[in-house]
Structure 1
Amino acid sequence: MLSKQNIITTINSLSNKRKIFFSEADFQFALSWELQRHMPKSDVRLEYSPAHIDPSMHIDILLKEEDEFYPIELKYVTAACDTIVDRERYLLKNHGAQDIRRYDFLKDVMRIEKLIYNHNEYKKGYAIFLTNDCSYWTKSFAKETCDRDFRINEDEIKSGELKWGEAAGIGTKKGREESLLLQGNYKLNWQDYSSISDEKWGKFKILIVEVENSKDITSVTNKYWVYENWVAEKKQ
């Protein structure tokens, strides 16, 4: 069974080889390769589509151990930098839009929950967020922000319904209007990934959220049924 310690060990091994990545796709490929190296008896798939469940869904990495499936969703979000690491130049963009990227990460957690709670072959899963933008792991002392429910800084606890604040603009919420519903209770803890410079952008940290089925599957399935029908009714 794939455990969080397996993921941490693999991440630590990867950080010794690759301290920075050109893109999310680069990170995805490197991590999948490292997972295969550490778990040679497992099958690793990229952009896996569980067509029998939802043909439109794609999972960044799927690790298969016989009849057990472990979905892994990734986010690689960067602050701008131009640096040389191991004789390679990395020119990273400033992704910005932290509010919607927090939303998207927590939506990944919700997507994994829906697989874990509703389909027995999915045993547990992981949502992983790698960044050199310290605003993600640093606590904000602003009392009211439009994305307060979606904050993912150190020691935040995420559970239940997460929704936009009243100040959130139409442009911010476009395509992300619906609240998120998390069944699990997640305390968020960041760990160091790499340090490539003393500049503000020079430290990378990683957040690993483990998703597993710790509740009664019938009650959870019913809650998701109610939630999804509520969303469908709002769109009509």
Structure 2
Amino acid sequence: MVEIDRVMCEMASRRPVFCSEADFQHELAMELRARDPHRQIRLEYPLGNYLRGAIDLLLLGKRRFALELKYLCKGFVADVNGERFTLRQQSAHDIRRHDVCKDVARMEAFVGRTGHDAAVLVLSNDPAYWQPRRRGGTVDAAFDIADARELAGTLQWGDKAAQER
């Protein structure tokens, strides 16, 4: 099993910023491989016939471990250890929260179909994702991903959400 808290803390001292989700995915895979050189790791592993899409990071072994990653960014420009990082402001918090919840559902389906383990790891520099909401009743209230929030049941857009969602 992977102690993701420890891995992320150690990575943060070396790589406090990533330029993209793909950069984060690659660096995490390299870190996990460095910890266990014999570990088989696959990136963008197809889920197959029963689910659409691909798993960001799949750790192979007696029990497989699927890890879906999200890198939710607020605008940020800085030089870190001699490297320039320019993160664009990602708007549409409602859509991004929904995407995280969709990934949770996909990983639950993966676990249910395969009996293996899975998780969704969200990395963000935007407190709007982890802090409690300032107002309730928003169209995306069901998709709130603030710290300590437990997702359960059927999550749906609020009544005032656009029909195309």
TM-score (norm 1): 0.66
Is this contact kept in 2: 1:10–1:38, CA < 8 A?
A: no
Change (3 A) 1:57 1:126: same
More strand by share: 1
Q: CA deviation at 1:52?
A: 5.3
Question: Over residues 17-44 of structure 1, what are the superposed CA-to-partner deviations in whole Å (9 max), with x where a residue is unaligned?
Answer: 1000100100000011111112333211
Q: CA deviation at 1:58?
A: 0.7
Q: Which amino acid aligns with 1:133?
A: D
Q: CA deviation at 1:10?
A: 1.2
Report the counterpart of residue 218 of structure 1 in structure 2: none
User: Secondary structure at the residue paired with 1:117?
Assistant: helix
Report the counterpart of residue 58 of structure 1 in structure 2: 54
What is the CA–CA distance in structure 2 between the aligned matches of 1:162 and 1:155, rounded to whole Å?
A: 17
Is this contact kept in 2: 1:21–1:27, CA < 8 A?
A: yes
Q: CA deviation at 1:57?
A: 2.2
Where does structure 2 lack aligned partners over 5 or more consecutive residues? none
Structure possessing the higher radius of gyration over alpha carbons: 1
- Give the share of equivalent positions with the same residue, in percent: 33
Of 142, 146, 152, 1:159 maps to 152
Q: Which amino acid aligns with 1:76?
A: Y
What is the CA–CA distance in structure 1 between the aligned matches of 2:76 and 2:93, rounded to whole Å?
A: 17
Tell whether 2:142 aligns with 1:149: yes
Of 37, 40, 43, 2:40 maps to 43
Q: How many residues align?
A: 165
Report the counterpart of residue 65 of structure 2 in structure 1: 70
Tell whether 2:21 aligns with 1:28: no
Is this contact kept in 2: 1:76–1:129, CA < 8 A?
A: yes
Report the counterpart of residue 11 of structure 2 in structure 1: 14
What is the CA–CA distance in structure 2 between the aligned matches of 1:84 and 1:116, rounded to whole Å?
A: 40
User: Secondary structure at the residue paired with 1:158?
Assistant: coil
Where does structure 1 lack aligned partners over 5 or more consecutive residues? 174-236
Q: Which amino acid aligns with 2:14?
A: K
What is the CA–CA distance in structure 1 between the aligned matches of 2:121 and 2:89, rounded to whole Å?
A: 19
